[in-house]
Amino acid sequence: MGKLPKRTVARALAIGLMVFGGALLLLAFRSNAPIQVEPAAFGLGTVASGETRPATYRLSNRGRSRVHILGARVSCGETGCAAGPPANLPLEIPPGETREVAISFRTHKPGRFSYAFQLFSDAPGQSEIELLIEGITVAAQDLSPQVSTDLR
């Protein structure tokens, strides 16, 4: 399959933007991204407050050249979590290959959570890669088994 002329691609994007709005433009950029992340959102399920769990993501290089994952931003700010950056950074991903990164994640505030972390790469057009993590935090005593003291 040959490359389309830039003018043809630009016209198609302009028409799509007029007809479908920004969704087509976003789809066009995402489909050309060299790094694919799986899972799109990592579900931790129910987590006890203060418990640390790893979230592992697979990064696949669909491009034609090597990509380097150079760093990460895993700050949670004041949102009730703590996260450790992946230990295996910087990371090189050759074309057609997959590598894993794991983020250690700990929540503190009870309730549903959804956080986004960023990886930084040298991939053309994809200098930031977003990782999502979600779940529910409960108090530690809410996860412990209930023991009956009623002996009747």
Residue pLDDT, tens place only, 23-64: 333 333 445 789 999 999 999 999 998 888 889 999 999 999
pLDDT of residue 86: 81
Tell me the backbone φ, ψ of residue 97, rounded to 5 degrees: -110, 165
Write the DSSP symbol of residue 16: H
CATH assignment of 34-141, among 3.40.80.10, 2.60.40.10, 3.30.70.100, 3.40.50.720:
2.60.40.10
Q: Where in the chain is the domain with CATH 2.60.40.10?
A: 34-141
Helix, strand, coil % (nearest 5) of the chain?
Answer: 20, 45, 35
Residue pLDDT, tens place only, 54-102: 899 999 999 999 999 999 887 665 556 667 768 888 999 999 999 999 8
Q: Is the pLDDT of residue 3 over 80?
A: no
Q: Give the list of residues 6+ apart from residue 49 with CB closer than 8 angstroms, or none.
A: 107, 108, 109, 110, 137, 138, 139, 140
Residues of the chain with pLDDT > 90: what percent?
A: 41
Residues of the chain with pLDDT > 70: what percent?
A: 65
